[in-house]
């Protein structure tokens, strides 16, 4: 595996790069549009919306959050399914979970190519106002903002273990 | 190619994905389509009635797609069932694991109806 030195304040580049490449590739394949990257902004929130969360364990331990404001979720869900999906319905959770799941599968493959072996969890989907899971203090995270089809979306990555356990742990564990 | 009379079982824990896959299958000409929410439920349905084709997700609670596939291949009565794994797991090792377990075809999400049709044609050629 690739030995990656982790800076306490920054996400490992292999993670952010794989996530960015995956966002471009997966959204383009599903929706026919590459999302426009609007930069990182730790202070910007999504407000009322849906969040799909996937955990990764193995050579690195971190989480991926795909967060869509309400109107983005409604628009993208309809495009994804080919039929209208009510915001408050369980199907909306299925769609966002599925989107996060497909992205995560692509990320696992991309990280594998980079020599970082990780396994992914099933998606957890939350709905609410600026919903985010509690994470350990002092570990790096990054909020990446995008627009697509005139709608906002955010992808957040956050380290879930201290740096000495982050990269270079027993491969495949 | 006609799929008239062929029975299909769609197994996915996501209701939306089941709807999308069933819609694709109907457009391809399949009329007799059932579904299940996980491998355990799928295995039960396969034990009740023979199916010509199973289209299953990999990541599911209770019984995953790969566990489901292995259980199908280990059962004398259903081991010959055509089995397509539809999954987000694009990792090579996962594909190898599925092939070794006896998967008939493997589709990596995201996929479209044409890709699904190609896999089905390869099975029923």
B16 to A91: CB separation less than 8 angstroms, yes or no = yes
Q: Which stretches in chain A have pLDDT values below 50?
A: 1-5, 163-166, 168-173
Give mean pLDDT, residues B83-90. 89
pLDDT in tens, B90-122: 778 888 999 999 999 999 988 888 999 999 999
- Which pLDDT does position A82 carry in this prediction? 87
SS3 letters for A37-68? EEEECCCCCCCEEEEEEEEEEECCCEEEEEEE
Structural domains in chain B, CATH included, are: 7-124 (3.40.50.2300)
Give me the interface pTM, i.e. the ipTM: 0.76
**Residue A114: closest CA among chain B residues belongs to which residue?**
B91
- Which pLDDT does position A156 carry in this prediction? 95
- Which pLDDT does position A167 carry in this prediction? 52
Give mean pLDDT, residues B39-56. 95
Report chain B residues whose CB lies below 8 A from the CB of A103.
88
Picking from B20, B62, B88, B115 by the largest number of A CB atoms within 10 A of its own CB, the best residue to mutate is B88
B110 to A102: CB separation less than 8 angstroms, yes or no = yes
Average pLDDT, chain B: 92
- Which pLDDT does position B3 carry in this prediction? 85
Give mean pLDDT, residues B52-71. 94
Structural domains in chain A, CATH included, are: 13-131+140-162 (3.40.1550.10)
Q: What's the number of CA atoms in the CB half-sphere (13 Å) around residue B15? A: 7
Of A81, A82, A105, the CB nearest to B88: A105
H helix or E strand, kind and range, residue B105: strand B105-108
A45-57 burial: b if 16+ Cβ within 10 Å, else e: ebeebbbbbbbbe
pLDDT over 70 at B66, yes or no:
yes
């Amino acid at each position: 595996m690739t030995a990656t030195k982790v800076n306490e304040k920054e996400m490992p580049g292999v993670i952010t790069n794989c996530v960015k490449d995956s966002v471009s590739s997966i959204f383009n394949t599903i929706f026919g549009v590459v999302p426009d990257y609007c930069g990182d902004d730790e202070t910007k929130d999504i407000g009322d919306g849906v969040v799909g969360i996937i955990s990764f364990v193995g050579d690195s331990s971190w989480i991926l959050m795909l967060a869509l404001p309400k109107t983005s979720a409604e628009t993208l869900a309809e495009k994804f399914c080919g039929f209208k999906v009510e915001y408050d319905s369980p199907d909306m959770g299925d769609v966002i979970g599925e989107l996060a799941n497909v992205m995560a599968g692509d990320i696992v493959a991309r990280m594998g190519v980079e020599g970082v072996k990780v396994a992914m969890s099933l998606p957890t989907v939350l709905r609410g106002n600026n919903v985010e899971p509690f994470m350990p203090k002092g570990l790096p995270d990054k909020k990446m903002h995008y627009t697509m089809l005139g709608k906002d979306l955010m992808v957040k990555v956050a380290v879930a273990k201290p740096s000495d356990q982050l990269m270079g742990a027993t491969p495949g564990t | 190619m006609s799929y008239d009379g062929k029975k299909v079982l769609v197994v996915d824990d996501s209701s939306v994905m089941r709807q999308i896959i069933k819609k694709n299958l109907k457009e391809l000409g399949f009329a007799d389509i059932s579904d299940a929410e996980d491998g355990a439920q799928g295995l039960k349905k396969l034990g009740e009635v023979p199916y010509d084709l199973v289209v299953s997700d990999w990541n599911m609670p209770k019984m995953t797609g790969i566990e489901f596939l292995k259980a199908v291949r280990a059962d004398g009565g259903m081991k010959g069932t055509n089995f397509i794994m539809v999954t987000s797991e694009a990792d090579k090792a996962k594909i190898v694991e599925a092939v070794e377990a006896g998967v008939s075809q493997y589709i990596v999400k995201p996929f479209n109806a044409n890709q699904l049709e190609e896999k089905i044609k390869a099975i029923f050629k």
